[in-house]
Structure 1
Amino acid sequence: MEHSPEFLALVDAARARIREIDASELAVRLTDAPDAALIDVREESEYAAGHVQGAEHIGKGVIERDIVAKHPDKTQPLYLYCGGGYRSALAADALQQMGYTHVVNVDGGWRALREIMPTE
Protein backbone atom coordinates (compact mmCIF):
# COMPACT_ATOMS: atom_id res chain seq x y z
CA MET A 1 0.00 0.00 0.00
CA GLU A 2 1.26 3.44 -0.87
CA HIS A 3 0.80 6.00 1.89
CA SER A 4 0.45 9.74 1.52
CA PRO A 5 3.35 11.96 2.57
CA GLU A 6 1.11 13.55 5.21
CA PHE A 7 0.33 10.16 6.79
CA LEU A 8 4.00 9.16 6.72
CA ALA A 9 4.97 12.43 8.40
CA LEU A 10 2.44 11.75 11.16
CA VAL A 11 3.81 8.24 11.65
CA ASP A 12 7.43 9.46 11.64
CA ALA A 13 6.60 12.02 14.34
CA ALA A 14 4.99 9.29 16.46
CA ARG A 15 7.95 6.95 15.93
CA ALA A 16 10.26 9.60 17.33
CA ARG A 17 8.33 9.40 20.63
CA ILE A 18 7.73 5.64 21.03
CA ARG A 19 9.65 2.42 21.45
CA GLU A 20 9.76 -0.07 18.61
CA ILE A 21 11.10 -3.55 18.07
CA ASP A 22 11.53 -5.52 14.90
CA ALA A 23 8.96 -8.27 14.40
CA SER A 24 11.76 -10.85 14.72
CA GLU A 25 12.23 -9.83 18.38
CA LEU A 26 8.61 -10.31 19.47
CA ALA A 27 8.68 -14.00 20.48
CA VAL A 28 11.61 -13.46 22.84
CA ARG A 29 10.05 -10.33 24.33
CA LEU A 30 6.77 -12.13 25.03
CA THR A 31 8.62 -15.05 26.61
CA ASP A 32 10.62 -12.69 28.81
CA ALA A 33 7.47 -10.85 29.94
CA PRO A 34 4.70 -13.40 30.59
CA ASP A 35 2.36 -10.63 31.79
CA ALA A 36 2.66 -8.78 28.46
CA ALA A 37 -0.32 -8.29 26.18
CA LEU A 38 -0.11 -8.56 22.40
CA ILE A 39 -2.68 -6.28 20.81
CA ASP A 40 -3.72 -6.29 17.16
CA VAL A 41 -4.98 -2.82 16.27
CA ARG A 42 -6.12 -3.64 12.73
CA GLU A 43 -9.73 -3.56 11.60
CA GLU A 44 -12.02 -6.39 12.78
CA SER A 45 -12.14 -7.89 9.27
CA GLU A 46 -8.33 -7.98 9.09
CA TYR A 47 -8.12 -9.66 12.49
CA ALA A 48 -10.80 -12.20 11.53
CA ALA A 49 -8.86 -13.09 8.37
CA GLY A 50 -5.81 -14.04 10.46
CA HIS A 51 -3.81 -12.87 13.45
CA VAL A 52 -0.94 -13.85 15.70
CA GLN A 53 -1.93 -16.66 18.04
CA GLY A 54 -2.98 -15.22 21.38
CA ALA A 55 -3.30 -11.65 20.12
CA GLU A 56 -6.15 -9.59 21.49
CA HIS A 57 -8.09 -7.39 19.11
CA ILE A 58 -8.56 -3.74 20.05
CA GLY A 59 -8.92 -1.72 16.87
CA LYS A 60 -7.07 1.55 16.44
CA GLY A 61 -10.39 3.35 16.17
CA VAL A 62 -11.39 2.38 19.72
CA ILE A 63 -8.17 1.62 21.58
CA GLU A 64 -8.06 4.93 23.46
CA ARG A 65 -11.65 4.40 24.59
CA ASP A 66 -11.31 0.73 25.60
CA ILE A 67 -7.74 0.23 26.80
CA VAL A 68 -8.21 1.28 30.44
CA ALA A 69 -11.09 -1.17 30.97
CA LYS A 70 -9.14 -4.03 29.40
CA HIS A 71 -5.66 -3.16 30.70
CA PRO A 72 -5.91 -0.89 33.75
CA ASP A 73 -2.29 -1.48 34.85
CA LYS A 74 -0.45 1.26 33.01
CA THR A 75 2.90 -0.47 33.66
CA GLN A 76 1.88 -3.71 31.92
CA PRO A 77 3.96 -4.37 28.80
CA LEU A 78 1.78 -3.82 25.73
CA TYR A 79 3.03 -4.89 22.30
CA LEU A 80 1.01 -3.44 19.42
CA TYR A 81 0.93 -4.47 15.78
CA CYS A 82 -1.06 -3.68 12.66
CA GLY A 83 -0.49 -4.56 9.00
CA GLY A 84 2.96 -3.02 8.72
CA GLY A 85 3.65 -0.98 11.85
CA TYR A 86 2.19 2.38 10.89
CA ARG A 87 -1.23 2.39 12.58
CA SER A 88 0.21 0.64 15.62
CA ALA A 89 2.86 3.36 15.92
CA LEU A 90 0.09 5.97 16.11
CA ALA A 91 -1.80 3.87 18.66
CA ALA A 92 1.36 3.40 20.77
CA ASP A 93 1.90 7.15 20.79
CA ALA A 94 -1.67 7.74 21.98
CA LEU A 95 -1.36 5.15 24.76
CA GLN A 96 1.85 6.75 25.99
CA GLN A 97 0.04 10.08 26.12
CA MET A 98 -2.58 8.33 28.28
CA GLY A 99 0.11 7.33 30.78
CA TYR A 100 1.03 3.80 29.66
CA THR A 101 4.72 3.37 30.35
CA HIS A 102 5.67 0.17 28.53
CA VAL A 103 4.07 0.36 25.09
CA VAL A 104 6.06 -1.08 22.20
CA ASN A 105 5.27 -0.97 18.49
CA VAL A 106 6.10 -4.08 16.48
CA ASP A 107 7.68 -2.76 13.30
CA GLY A 108 6.84 -4.88 10.28
CA GLY A 109 3.47 -5.82 11.75
CA TRP A 110 1.30 -8.64 10.49
CA ARG A 111 3.13 -8.86 7.16
CA ALA A 112 6.31 -9.87 8.99
CA LEU A 113 4.75 -11.66 11.96
CA ARG A 114 2.70 -14.14 9.93
CA GLU A 115 5.94 -15.56 8.58
CA ILE A 116 7.61 -16.09 11.98
CA MET A 117 4.90 -16.47 14.64
CA PRO A 118 2.10 -19.03 15.12
CA THR A 119 -1.14 -17.66 13.66
CA GLU A 120 -4.85 -18.26 14.01
Structure 2
Amino acid sequence: MLNAKIKNVTAEEAYKLLSENKEFVILDVRTREEYEGGHIPGAKLIPVGILPMKLAELDKYKDKPVLVYCASGGRSPRAVDTLANSSFKNIYHLNRGICSWGYSITR
Protein backbone atom coordinates (compact mmCIF):
# COMPACT_ATOMS: atom_id res chain seq x y z
CA MET A 1 0.00 0.00 0.00
CA LEU A 2 3.04 2.25 0.19
CA ASN A 3 1.88 5.82 0.88
CA ALA A 4 -1.53 5.61 -0.73
CA LYS A 5 -4.40 7.57 0.77
CA ILE A 6 -7.60 5.60 0.15
CA LYS A 7 -10.98 7.09 0.92
CA ASN A 8 -14.39 5.48 0.50
CA VAL A 9 -16.92 8.03 -0.71
CA THR A 10 -20.65 8.13 -1.31
CA ALA A 11 -22.08 9.17 -4.67
CA GLU A 12 -22.90 12.59 -3.18
CA GLU A 13 -19.33 13.06 -1.91
CA ALA A 14 -17.89 11.87 -5.23
CA TYR A 15 -20.10 14.24 -7.22
CA LYS A 16 -19.01 17.17 -5.04
CA LEU A 17 -15.33 16.21 -5.35
CA LEU A 18 -15.58 15.89 -9.12
CA SER A 19 -17.30 19.25 -9.50
CA GLU A 20 -14.72 20.99 -7.32
CA ASN A 21 -11.58 19.41 -8.77
CA LYS A 22 -11.10 19.01 -12.52
CA GLU A 23 -7.83 17.12 -11.92
CA PHE A 24 -9.73 13.95 -11.00
CA VAL A 25 -9.17 10.84 -13.07
CA ILE A 26 -12.30 8.67 -13.14
CA LEU A 27 -11.67 4.97 -13.60
CA ASP A 28 -14.51 2.61 -14.53
CA VAL A 29 -13.42 -0.99 -13.92
CA ARG A 30 -16.54 -2.73 -15.28
CA THR A 31 -16.83 -4.57 -18.59
CA ARG A 32 -17.03 -2.75 -21.94
CA GLU A 33 -20.72 -3.71 -22.24
CA GLU A 34 -21.52 -2.23 -18.83
CA TYR A 35 -19.52 0.91 -19.65
CA GLU A 36 -21.35 1.39 -22.96
CA GLY A 37 -24.65 1.02 -21.11
CA GLY A 38 -23.83 4.19 -19.17
CA HIS A 39 -20.88 5.63 -17.27
CA ILE A 40 -19.85 8.70 -15.30
CA PRO A 41 -18.93 11.45 -17.81
CA GLY A 42 -15.20 11.49 -18.50
CA ALA A 43 -14.56 8.01 -17.08
CA LYS A 44 -11.78 5.89 -18.56
CA LEU A 45 -12.64 2.22 -19.03
CA ILE A 46 -10.13 -0.35 -17.82
CA PRO A 47 -11.85 -3.56 -16.70
CA VAL A 48 -10.49 -4.79 -13.37
CA GLY A 49 -9.30 -8.06 -14.91
CA ILE A 50 -6.84 -6.30 -17.23
CA LEU A 51 -5.93 -3.38 -14.96
CA PRO A 52 -2.54 -4.85 -13.93
CA MET A 53 -1.53 -5.04 -17.62
CA LYS A 54 -2.74 -1.49 -18.31
CA LEU A 55 -1.05 0.30 -15.39
CA ALA A 56 1.57 1.88 -17.67
CA GLU A 57 -1.26 3.80 -19.38
CA LEU A 58 -2.14 5.34 -16.01
CA ASP A 59 1.40 6.17 -14.84
CA LYS A 60 1.02 9.87 -15.64
CA TYR A 61 -1.90 10.04 -13.19
CA LYS A 62 -0.11 8.64 -10.10
CA ASP A 63 -0.10 12.03 -8.36
CA LYS A 64 -3.65 12.97 -9.33
CA PRO A 65 -6.76 11.98 -7.39
CA VAL A 66 -8.39 8.88 -8.90
CA LEU A 67 -12.04 7.90 -8.42
CA VAL A 68 -12.55 4.16 -8.94
CA TYR A 69 -15.94 2.52 -9.42
CA CYS A 70 -17.66 -0.60 -10.71
CA ALA A 71 -21.35 -1.52 -10.82
CA SER A 72 -22.09 -2.04 -7.11
CA GLY A 73 -18.78 -1.93 -5.27
CA GLY A 74 -17.84 -5.61 -5.56
CA ARG A 75 -15.02 -5.45 -8.12
CA SER A 76 -13.60 -1.99 -7.50
CA PRO A 77 -11.81 -2.79 -4.19
CA ARG A 78 -9.51 -5.10 -6.18
CA ALA A 79 -8.72 -2.21 -8.52
CA VAL A 80 -8.11 0.11 -5.55
CA ASP A 81 -5.60 -2.41 -4.15
CA THR A 82 -3.87 -2.69 -7.53
CA LEU A 83 -3.52 1.10 -7.77
CA ALA A 84 -2.41 1.47 -4.15
CA ASN A 85 0.30 -1.15 -4.67
CA SER A 86 1.45 0.70 -7.81
CA SER A 87 2.30 4.03 -6.13
CA PHE A 88 -0.97 5.88 -6.74
CA LYS A 89 -1.26 8.50 -4.00
CA ASN A 90 -4.92 9.63 -3.75
CA ILE A 91 -7.51 6.96 -4.43
CA TYR A 92 -11.23 7.44 -3.91
CA HIS A 93 -13.53 4.43 -4.01
CA LEU A 94 -17.18 4.97 -4.94
CA ASN A 95 -19.14 2.97 -2.35
CA ARG A 96 -21.93 0.90 -3.93
CA GLY A 97 -20.62 1.77 -7.41
CA ILE A 98 -22.49 3.41 -10.23
CA CYS A 99 -25.72 1.86 -8.92
CA SER A 100 -25.66 4.57 -6.26
CA TRP A 101 -24.89 7.35 -8.77
CA GLY A 102 -27.99 9.53 -9.02
CA TYR A 103 -26.41 12.03 -11.40
CA SER A 104 -26.09 12.21 -15.17
CA ILE A 105 -24.33 9.43 -17.05
CA THR A 106 -22.97 9.22 -20.57
CA ARG A 107 -23.84 6.44 -23.00
TM-score range, shorter chain: 0.7 to 0.9
State whether residues 6 and 90 of structure 2, in contact with CA within 8 Å, keep that contact through their aligned partners in structure 1: no
Asked whether the 8 Å contact 2:24–2:64 carries over to 1, the reply is yes
Greater relative CO (CA pairs within 8 A, separation 6+) = 2
Q: Which residue of 2 aligns with 1:29?
A: 17
Superposed counterparts of 1:80-119, under 5 Å: 80-113=68-101, 116-119=102-105
- Which piece of structure 1 moves more, 89-98 or 63-72? 63-72
Cα distance between partner residues in 1 of 2:71 and 2:100: 9
| Greater helix content | 1
The one-letter amino acid paired with 1:119 is: I
Query: Any gaps of 5 or more consecutive residues in structure 2?
Result: none
Aligned to 2:28: 40
Larger radius of gyration: 1
- Contact kept? 1:81, 1:88, Cα under 8 Å: yes
Superposed displacement of residue 33, structure 1 = 1.9
- For normalisation by structure 1, the TM-score amounts to 0.77
User: Structure 2 length as normaliser, TM-score?
Assistant: 0.85
Q: Which runs of 5+ in 1 are unaligned?
A: 1-16
State the AA in 2 paired with 1:42.
Answer: R
Q: CA deviation at 1:35?
A: 0.8
Percent identical: 25
Report Cα offsets for 1:84-118 as digits up to 9, x if no partner.
Answer: 112111100111011111111100111111xx221
